[in-house]
Structure 1
Amino acid sequence: MTNSNPKITTEMIGPAEAKEILEHHNAQNRAFKRKSINQYTRAMRQGEWTFIGDPIRFDRGGELLDGQNRLAAVIESGIPQTFVVIRNLEPDSQRYMDSGVKRSPADQLKIEGVAHPNEVAQIAALVMHWKGNDLPGMNIKYSTFEIVEFVEANTNAVEAAATHARALYHATRASKGTSGAVYFMAAEAAGAETASEFFGLLTSGAGLDNGSPVLLLRNKLIYWASTKARSRERAEILYFYVRCWNGWRKNEKLERLQLPRDSRGVVTMGDLRMRG
């Protein structure tokens, strides 16, 4: 084997070496992906970064072809990591990298035997953003591992949320991911029995009088699903769920739903805290 042949090693790369690579050997990569860097950094700091053999790759001239976001996370976390390192690749091999389909949270949940994995993954991810105060922007990029771990830690709650979300979907065509997240947060705030009562009323519409926040929300969900309003922002719909839940918990009468405005009259996201 000559020096021109690809060379594969396993190396520990620390912050100083990662910085040197990115500053002096990274002239032909894509823009950094901030969400990915944050995700990797979080995993490294929490001790959840697992060695799986994904390589850091260089071409024959020593230029980095693949791995810049992982190296950036090493710098930001301050924690050295072990990587497979491949050197002496052809420069044009970069075009073939990252072209495969990554395993999604739903894929992994299906492998692990979780029923309705797509719904469960959507609900879990939205709850994680909600609990992480990452709405409406959803700027945190949660990994497949983090979402699957959340589902495993909250199996009964997520499965109950998915069950109620499917029932509501059949009645109103409301998004299962969104309504499931609302059920999860409602059950956490006031208990599963109270959350189930609210969703039972929302699904059936039985015995609801005019002015009922639940009836108002139910009618809105049906309207949004039947018109172009279905494309409205998820965060906006979440606010209306929370507004009607809180109104129902206070025995309040509601005649209409609208987003709050600040002192300048600008529409704001509103408070997503659910009343216990």
Structure 2
Amino acid sequence: MVIDRGTPQGAPVPRLTQVGPELAEILLSRAVVNRRLDWGQVDFLTDSIIRGEWQLTHQGIALDGPLDTGCLLDGQHRLNAIIKAGVSVWIYVFEGLQESAFPVLDTGKRRSGVDTLSSTGEKYLPLLHSTIRHVLLFKDMPDSSWSGSRARIANGRILAAYTEDSDMYREAVATGRSLSKHLFASQTGAAVGYFVTNEAAPAAKVASWIKGLTSGANLEVGDPRLTLTKVPHVKGRGRKRRYTMREQVAIYIKAWNAWVQDEKIENLRFRKTEKMPMPIEVKFDR
């Protein structure tokens, strides 16, 4: 295989640059074409910057000339996020990109969260990704909607969460697949409920909880485990629809909390205006 190590004529020159809000505004004022902005994407990038999760990659800003005079061809979302965050970040600025390249910018397929987790060798990757994402949403924004642009989680954060607690996430996925056969909740809803309650209790307590949900043997009326297994699917117009993921997790936790406190409960529901219940912590037996 022959590799041409020469530089093609007219190739853009990358320059690693620290871009702050002031420079971002200057570059945006020199935009050749003002694309319609996806403000959800801007908010997503802004949150990444504010959280300190911004990653330096090959993706950056493209100009048709040098930094001090070139017109902006690509990078509007990143620059608007820098302005909105009010924070400077390191980013590659490509100088001298041919304007004829504009139509093919950003036409590639984005890497999904599932793609990011593929290197882990885990099974059930869509379920694993969904579980991690919703556990993070539970911790970050329990009382807000878990859909829409504000609910996006960066792929790097998904992978970092998995790496930090891979055994527990693997266990949650397996348990969610099993529990969903006995509950109204989806595999993800059951996995997230299991994960967040398991964090609050010793293994023996959790094992007793799971056994009651899966077998139902010798459970009295009013036992929260029995009540949870009796929660019906919500019926829509001519077909069944599931509760939202936030509703599923909330109802699971409500049942858990009642069980931990030895309370009898015969009905479980969660109104959208309610705050997310937090799992009651169970002290470890000594």
**How many matched pairs?**
264
Q: How does 1:177-188 map to 2 (within 5 A)?
A: 177-188=188-199
> What's 1:264 paired with?
none
How far 1:99 moved relative to its partner? 3.0
| One-letter amino acid matched to 1:185 | V
Moved >6 Å (runs of 4+):
none
Question: Out of 153, 159, 162, which is 2:173 matched to?
Answer: 162
- Partner Cα separation in structure 2 for residue 140 and residue 254 of structure 1: 32
Note if 1:137 corresponds to 2:145. yes
Residue 82 of structure 1 aligns to a residue whose secondary structure is strand
- 1:120 equivalent to 2:125? Answer no
Q: Whole-Å Cα distance in 2 between the matches of residues 251 and 26 of structure 1?
A: 66
- How far apart are residue 234 of structure 1 and its match? 1.9
Cα distance change, pair 201–216 in 1 and its aligned pair in 2 (3 A): same
TM-score, normalization by structure 2: 0.79
Match of 2:35? 29
The 10-residue stretch of structure 1 (171-180 or 58-67) with the greater mean CA deviation from structure 2: 58-67
1:19 aligns with 2:25: yes
Letter in 2 for 1:154: D
**Displacement of 1:237:** 2.1
Normalization by structure 1: what TM-score?
A: 0.82
1:50-199 to structure 2, matched below 5 A, reads 50-58=55-63, 63-75=71-83, 76-90=85-99, 93-138=101-146, 139-172=150-183, 174-199=185-210
Specify every segment of 5 or more residues in structure 2 that has no aligned partner in the other structure, as ranges.
Answer: 1-8, 282-286
Q: 1:239 to 1:174 in 2, by over 3 A?
A: closer
Measure the CA separation in 1 of the matches of 2:203 and 2:235. Answer: 26
Shift of 1:190: 1.7
Identity over aligned residues, as a percent?
24
Equivalences for residues 225-240 of structure 1 within 5 A: 228-240=239-251
Matched, 1:271 2:282: no
Structure 1 residues 47 and 247: CA distance shift in structure 2, 3 A: closer
Verify the 8 A CA contact 1:55 1:85 in the aligned structure 2: yes
Asked if 1:49 corresponds to 2:54, the answer is: yes
Letter in 1 for 2:13: I
SS of equivalent to 2:231: helix
Is the contact made by 1:45 and 1:79 (CA closer than 8 Å) also made in structure 2? no
Segments of structure 1 that go 5 or more residues without pairing to the other structure are 261-266
Q: Secondary structure at the match of 2:256?
A: helix
Q: What letter is aligned with 1:195?
A: V
- Cα deviation, 1:216-275, whole Å, max 9, x if unaligned, reads 211215x45998443332222222112111111112111222335xxxxxx613332111
Root-mean-square deviation over aligned CA pairs: 3.0
Residues 171-180 or 224-233, more deviating: 224-233
